[in-house]
């Protein structure tokens, strides 16, 4: 594997799950938990004649950012599209529960400087959701993750990191939405229904899944940033994600709660405002919404570099 | 039994009447909050009594069509529907905020939904937030002491089941004789997407609970607490589970309930025996290095 210094300046998009996990935390601080040497694989894939991975396609472990223990979950899109089954689903849930337990222990052991040691959960999503080969177990694991998120509320930050090839779709699309903070690079995509399924449901005239620009405009990071679903839009460097995570770690839980998009009646009402706008406007394209929020030339936004985009973009103003 | 005569698919509103005390269901009212009857027509929310206890009822309406969001029909949960359901949960918590644990009203979810809204407008606005928002509301209500019981009467499909059902304390389902469907995808779609041979999948689906569709398989995995064999039993069985859940909450046994509790049940019933082993091994490995992270 590349050295940590090389990872920091390297592309996040091109990095595999383990490189992302190692590079998002401080140098030399990452310890993998239930790594490939444990050979804890899916027992369900061989039954269907499918190859296994020794880490079941998800890297889990713990690192540090400053004094903050960071529990990292990093999905590998090259293995069955990063999909979630029984074992890697359990690795996700197990990591979140470890973070909660660690928070309790740190509070007891370091009451005076707990804030600067408060743990964090970071999930690098690269997944289409449920792994069909073990669909029922994967589905149940999604619910366990949502349940564990609610336990973390106002105690420790749960952060989504999205910027890999597969994007973050299916059930994992709402899992990401349910976290406190979302960090993306320009290539990142989050959605519930994948483009092919929308095309199948609505017809090619309404939604052409092979139109990559349209797909990015609908679920890509720039759109998510404009409507307020993405909190940090960063350069495609692992180091840029590391820096954004350090920024989150330094915030108070109150500030972090303020970065959420769902999770309270007030936030639901705010989202209902957006739904009303979309229902009234019946947009044919995300650009209709970008224009509504004050971007006079919406077609130029996808062409811009992240830096240029961040300088000129107008975002949804929260009520 | 001829399942077409008995099926409850599409009969969410009938199910409400069969389950709650006669004539007590008031639609579009939870606590002091009123709901706009035009909003999110694919979902039904309201207040009723079950054996005299005030409860919130949340169901799907398979015959409603949402004119603003035309992908919503046949029980689909769309943008408005998800937020409407979430609001019903928050209003339930609000209504009982000052009441003791024993008086937190139960939430009864009547489940018959084929999916979340799969459209372009849904993705532009972020359907993931609507379904996720409802799930977080249910998790919060469950942890605040409200007994949350899901009764699957028809279709509980994939993400829509995660949205409406899988955050409950206990999940009950009508038996497969009623045509009840719990799955992520039918075998034909699994075969198409995974490119696995359909005959082999069909053979395996008879015995493999982990991927194949079916109420009994979900029971085996701990995903369904109890199977209900007669429609007239829905009412007493739901009432029984409300009491059981309330008793566990009174005893502080939250870990036996909800998604985590279903994991324990899946281990007990032999359907999901790997997840707890994986988690135990992770805990053990972290304990060995914890000092570095606790005293950084």
- Phi and psi angles of residue B148, each rounded to the nearest 5 degrees, phi first: -120, 115
Quick one: closest CA in A to B279, which residue?
A: A94
pLDDT confidence band for A205 (50 / 70 / 90): confident
Q: Is the ipTM of this complex over 0.95?
A: yes
- Tokens standing for A30? 């990452």
* A205 within some domain: no
- Kind plus residue range of the DSSP H or E element containing B125: helix B120-125
Structural domain contains residue A313: no
Q: Tell me whether residue A267 is in a domain.
A: no
Do the domain assignments include residue A16? yes
Average pLDDT of the residues in B186-207: 87
A209 has a chain B CB within 8 A of its CB:
no
Q: What DSSP string describes B75-116?
A: T-B-HHHHHHHHHHHHHHHHHTTTS-GGGSPPEEEEEEE--B
Residue A215 counted as domain residue = no
**Total of domains in chain A:** 1
Considering the domain boundaries, does residue A92 fall inside one? yes
Which CATH number characterizes residue A18's domain?
3.90.226.10
> B28 to chain A, minimum CA–CA distance in Å?
17
Lowest mean pLDDT among A43-52, B96-105, B233-242: A43-52
CB contact, 8 Å: A102 with chain B? Answer: yes
Q: Answer whether A261 sits within 8 Å of B129, measured CB to CB.
A: yes
pTM for the predicted model, two decimal places = 0.98
Q: Find the closest chain A residue to B198 by CA distance.
A: A48
Nearest to A177 among B132, B218, B286 (CB): B132
Candidates B83, B91, B78; CA nearest to B31 is: B91
Interface touch B266/A140, C-beta < 8 Å: yes
**Residue A224 resides in a domain:** no
The answer to whether A292 contacts chain B (CB < 8 Å) is no
What is the mean predicted confidence (pLDDT) over B240-266?
98
pLDDT digits (tens, 9 = 90+) for B107-128: 999 999 999 999 999 999 999 9
A-chain CB neighbours of B211 within 8 Å are: 44, 48, 132-136
Over residues A3-42, the pLDDT tens digits come to: 999 999 999 999 999 999 999 999 999 999 999 999 999 9
CA–CA distance, B93 with B105 (Å, rounded to integer): 8
Distance CA A7, CA A11 (A): 8
Q: Is A92 helix (H, G, I), strand (E, B) or coil?
A: helix
Residue A114 resides in a domain:
yes
Instruction: Look at residue B200 and give its three-state secondary structure.
Output: helix
**Residue ranges making up the domain that contains A161:** 4-190+229-262
């Amino acid at each position: 594997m590349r050295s940590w210094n090389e990872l920091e300046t390297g592309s996040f998009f091109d990095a595999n799950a383990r490189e992302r996990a190692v590079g998002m935390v401080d140098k030399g601080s990452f310890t993998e938990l239930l790594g490939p040497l444990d050979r804890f694989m899916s027992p369900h894939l061989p039954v269907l004649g499918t190859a296994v991975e020794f880490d079941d396609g998800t890297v889990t472990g713990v690192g540090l950012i400053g004094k903050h223990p960071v529990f990292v979950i990093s999905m590998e899109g090259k293995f069955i599209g990063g999909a979630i089954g029984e074992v890697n689903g359990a690795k996700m849930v197990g990591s979140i529960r470890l973070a909660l337990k660690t928070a309790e222990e740190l509070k007891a052991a370091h009451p005076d400087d707990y804030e600067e040691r408060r743990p964090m959960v970071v999930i690098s999503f690269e997944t289409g959701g449920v792994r069909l080969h073990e669909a029922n177990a994967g589905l149940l694991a999604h619910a366990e993750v949502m349940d564990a998120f609610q336990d973390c509320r106002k105690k420790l930050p749960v952060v989504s990191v999205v910027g890999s090839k597969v994007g973050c779709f299916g059930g994992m699309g709402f899992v990401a939405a349910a976290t406190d903070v979302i960090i993306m690079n320009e290539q990142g995509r989050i959605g519930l229904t994948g483009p092919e399924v929308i095309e199948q449901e609505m017809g090619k005239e309404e939604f052409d899944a092979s139109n990559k620009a349209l797909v990015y405009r609908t679920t890509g990071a720039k759109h998510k940033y404009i409507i307020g679903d993405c909190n940090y839009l960063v350069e495609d460097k692992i180091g840029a994600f590391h820096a954004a995570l350090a920024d989150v770690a330094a915030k108070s839980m109150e500030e972090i709660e303020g970065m959420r998009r769902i999770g309270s009646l007030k936030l639901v009402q705010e989202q209902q405002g957006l739904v009303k706008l979309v229902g009234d406007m019946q947009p044919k394209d995300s650009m209709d919404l970008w224009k509504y929020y004050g971007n006079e030339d919406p077609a130029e936004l996808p062409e811009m570099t992240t830096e240029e985009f961040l300088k000129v973009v107008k975002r949804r103003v929260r009520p | 039994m001829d399942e077409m005569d008995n099926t409850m698919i599409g009969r969410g509103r009938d199910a409400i009447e069969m389950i709650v005390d006669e004539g007590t269901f008031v639609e579009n009212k939870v606590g002091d909050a009123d709901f706009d009857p035009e909003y999110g027509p694919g979902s039904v929310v309201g207040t009723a009594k079950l054996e005299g206890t005030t409860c919130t009822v949340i169901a799907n309406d398979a015959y409603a069509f949402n004119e603003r969001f035309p992908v919503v029909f046949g029980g689909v949960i769309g943008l408005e529907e998800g937020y409407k359901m979430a609001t019903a949960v928050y209003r339930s918590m609000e209504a009982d905020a000052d009441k003791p644990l024993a008086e937190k009203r139960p939430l009864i979810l009547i489940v018959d939904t084929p999916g979340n809204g799969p459209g372009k407008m849904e993705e532009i606005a972020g359907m993931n937030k609507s379904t996720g928002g409802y799930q977080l509301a249910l998790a919060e209500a469950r942890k605040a002491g409200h007994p949350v019981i899901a009764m699957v009467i028809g279709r509980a499909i994939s993400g829509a089941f995660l949205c409406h059902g899988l955050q409950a304390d206990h999940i009950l389902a009508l038996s497969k004789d009623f045509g009840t469907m719990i799955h992520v995808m039918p075998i034909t779609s699994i075969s198409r997407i995974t490119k696995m041979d359909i005959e082999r999948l069909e053979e395996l689906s008879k015995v493999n609970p982990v991927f194949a569709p079916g109420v009994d398989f979900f029971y085996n995995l701990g995903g369904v607490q109890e199977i209900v064999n007669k429609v007239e039993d829905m009412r007493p069985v739901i009432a029984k589970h409300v009491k059981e859940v309330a008793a566990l909450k009174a005893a502080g046994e939250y870990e036996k309930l909800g998604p985590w509790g279903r994991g324990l049940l899946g281990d007990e019933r032999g359907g999901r025996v790997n997840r707890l082993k994986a988690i135990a091994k992770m805990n053990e490995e972290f304990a060995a290095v914890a000092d570095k992270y606790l005293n950084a």
